[in-house]
Amino acid sequence: MLKGIAYHQDSWVQSDKLYVHISDLSIHRAYAVFDYMKEKKGKVPWIDAYLDRFFRSLNLAGIGITQTKQEVHDLIHDMIRQNGFGISGIKLLATGGYSPNGFTVPDQSNFFILNYKGKQIDPVIYQNGIVLIHDDFQRPNPEIKTTQYFNTAQLYQKMLKHKADDVLYHHHGIITETSRANFYVIKNGGIRTSGGHILSGITRKNFLKTFKDKYPIDLGDLYFSDLKNIDEAFITSTTRGVVPVVKIEDLLIGNGEVGSITKKLMAQFNDKY
Amino acid sequence: MLKGIAYHQDSWVQSDKLYVHISDLSIHRAYAVFDYMKEKKGKVPWIDAYLDRFFRSLNLAGIGITQTKQEVHDLIHDMIRQNGFGISGIKLLATGGYSPNGFTVPDQSNFFILNYKGKQIDPVIYQNGIVLIHDDFQRPNPEIKTTQYFNTAQLYQKMLKHKADDVLYHHHGIITETSRANFYVIKNGGIRTSGGHILSGITRKNFLKTFKDKYPIDLGDLYFSDLKNIDEAFITSTTRGVVPVVKIEDLLIGNGEVGSITKKLMAQFNDKY
């Protein structure tokens, strides 16, 4: 839940009073980039990696902000200290700015730092696993963290119907990622995750680093048609670490229960969540 | 230029004071649809076709508004009467609404009617033609008028450099449309425009109806590699009707001047613009 104070341009603003003029290009042209990291007790794990990715997105998108990486780093810590949520999500958001005609790109962008008050994660997701729905979709510009989630938002009623947690993207029969996480399968003791056309997840990077010498890990194409033959599946995300996937729409993964290797991965990786 | 009064939910608001809370899903998830039509002296040509398309977009996007088509029709006329611009653009915009966590879709959408004060079109675009740049891009969900123009906004500096008017989309070697218009080529006296994977332009439909018995018109694939062999090119759009295209980045179309058939088409079609 968006709460407490937020940062907009050069000021702190109560987030319930944080309004954007209707002419903003994020509204008319989806011209915006963002990033999202997690606070736990005043600390922000891997904050530098998130800041690097955000500034890379800005650069590739052609959106400039006046703050330096160090200034944004300090503003984030200032904000979470002021809000004192303990567990929270932190969103950096930069839009193309106010455009009087709705498409010409102005010189000045709009930059926001938002704080979402969180709570302890319900352990049931780790115990029982989650359900995904799927959609034929390739994220445009996967190297940039854009706001292009129209397809996922459009599938919201379908997600509710399936009690699903997220949407698994695939295109031309090849699985890439979910809308908010990276996706992995386990077959015959080996882990495979998509190697390309995906958003480069910070948690994915840390996961791969943690387990590269402990399990065979293959970065290659995941075929949608192969989901019926895999033993286990899971996702990794900033907010929740490793989370088992037990069902994709009506297809049970393995026997539909959380797999034994996924349990070991959670035990070794999820202490930060 | 966005000016005068605008409509938001159930009220008239001065557009310079029309603010949206930061939690809106158009900002975070590009979850919004819109449509755009033109007023000329208090009249809105083909308003019913635009309203039909907007309501079709809403339906496909899963975004509901409380107003009926007739009510939106009346609100549009009420707004342009109050603003009295004479020449203006009218934008209908509906977003997924306010979402406290930035991704869950709420029950209530946000609906806006905006008025952009226009001016007489500079005749130089018809006399000299316009320049386009091009981009390898396929609009996702072309059957819905979404706000997914990130790629076009990102190319804004390149557009300035080429003094270009718009971006021509092509994908796998096949041309679809420009970001704000439909695209046509003329070769050996026949007109060809893309038949699929495009936003269904209202002006395109009227153009095809007007000229179907006067010229050979082919709705088929336009190959990007064939641009060097065509005689003439033009676009059609809501705001400006038929506009000649004389250059695509560094490639001159024909001899780089406005073609003779395009001149005839403009003479017969552009009296409304």
Disruptive mutation site among B147, B172, B238, B240 for chain A (greatest number of A CBs within 10 Å):
B147
Decide if B148 and A30 are in contact by the 8 Å CB cutoff: yes
Measured CA to CA, the distance from residue A4 to residue A1 in angstroms comes to: 10
Q: Are B154 and B206 in contact (CB under 8 A)?
A: no
Q: Do domains A5-117 and A124-272 have the same CATH topology?
A: no
Residue B10, C-beta contacts closer than 8 angstroms, at least 6 positions apart = none
Which residues of B fall within a CB distance of 8 Å from A26? 26-27, 30
Domain ranges of chain A: 5-117, 124-272
Q: Give the chain B residue whose CA is nearest to the CA of A118.
A: B101
Percentage of chain A beyond pLDDT 90 is 95
Q: Which residues of chain B have pLDDT under 50?
A: none
Burial B4-21 (b: 16+ CB within 10 A, else e): bbbbbeeeeeebeebebb
What's the average model confidence in pLDDT over A35-44?
96
- For chain B, the three-class secondary structure string (H helix, E strand, C coil) is CECCEEEECCEEEEHHHCEEECCEHHHHHCCEEEEEEEEECCECCCHHHHHHHHHHHHHHHCCCCCCCHHHHHHHHHHHHHHHCCCEEEEEEEEECCECCCCCCCCCCCEEEEEEEECCCCCCHHHHHCEEEEEEECCCCCCCCCECCCHHHHHCHHHHHHCCCCEEEEEECCEEEEECCCEEEEEECCEEEECCCCCCCCHHHHHHHHHHCCCCCEEECCEEHHHHHHCCEEEEEECCCEEEEEEEECCEECCCCCCCHHHHHHHHHHHHHC
Decide if B24 and A27 are in contact by the 8 Å CB cutoff: yes
Q: Which of A31, A34, A156 sits opposite B62 (nearest CB)?
A: A156
Q: Quickly list DSSP for A198-209.
A: S---HHHHHHHH
- Residue pairs spanning A and B at CB distance below 8 A: 161
Q: Give the distance from residue A55's alpha carbon to the nearest chain B alpha carbon, in angstroms.
A: 15
Q: Give the distance from residue B57's alpha carbon to the nearest chain A alpha carbon, in angstroms.
A: 11
According to the model, what pLDDT value does residue B196 have? 86
Answer yes or no: is pLDDT of A272 > 80: no
Q: What is the pLDDT of residues A212-238, one digit of tens each?
A: 999 999 999 999 999 999 999 999 999
According to the model, what pLDDT value does residue A139 have? 87
Q: Give the distance from residue A28's alpha carbon to the nearest chain B alpha carbon, in angstroms.
A: 6
Q: Give the distance from residue A190's alpha carbon to the nearest chain B alpha carbon, in angstroms.
A: 33
Cα A173 to Cα A52, A176, A195, A220, A229: the distances in Å are: 32, 10, 15, 13, 15
Average pLDDT of the residues of chain A: 96
- CATH for the stretch B124-272: 3.20.10.10
According to the model, what pLDDT value does residue B40 have? 94
Q: Which CATH class name applies to A5-117? A: alpha beta
Q: Which of A31, A62, A96 sits opposite B157 (nearest CB)?
A: A62
Q: What is the pLDDT of residues A95-146, one digit of tens each?
A: 999 999 999 999 999 999 999 999 999 999 999 999 999 999 988 889 999 9
Disruptive mutation site among B26, B139, B159 for chain A (greatest number of A CBs within 10 Å):
B26
According to the model, what pLDDT value does residue B139 have? 87
Decide if A101 and B156 are in contact by the 8 Å CB cutoff: no
According to the model, what pLDDT value does residue A196 have? 86
Disruptive mutation site among A7, A8, A26, A112 for chain B (greatest number of B CBs within 10 Å):
A26
Q: Give the chain B residue whose CA is nearest to the CA of A152.
A: B29
Which residues of A fall within a CB distance of 8 Å from B18? 21-22
Which residues of A fall within a CB distance of 8 Å from B6? 22
Which residues of A fall within a CB distance of 8 Å from B16? 21
Decide if A153 and B31 are in contact by the 8 Å CB cutoff: yes
Q: Give the distance from residue A26's alpha carbon to the nearest chain B alpha carbon, in angstroms.
A: 5
Q: Give the chain A residue whose CA is nearest to the CA of B150.
A: A31
Which residues of B fall within a CB distance of 8 Å from A62? 153-154, 156-157
According to the model, what pLDDT value does residue A77 have? 98
Measured CA to CA, the distance from residue A122 to residue A83 in angstroms comes to: 23
Q: Are A245 and A235 in contact (CB under 8 A)?
A: yes
- H helices of chain A, where? 25-29, 47-61, 69-83, 124-128, 150-154, 156-161, 202-211, 260-269
According to the model, what pLDDT value does residue B152 have? 95
Q: Which of A19, A34, A101 sits opposite B20 (nearest CB)?
A: A19
Measured CA to CA, the distance from residue B140 to residue B125 in angstroms comes to: 30
Measured CA to CA, the distance from residue B269 to residue B273 in angstroms comes to: 9
Answer yes or no: is pLDDT of A207 > 80: yes
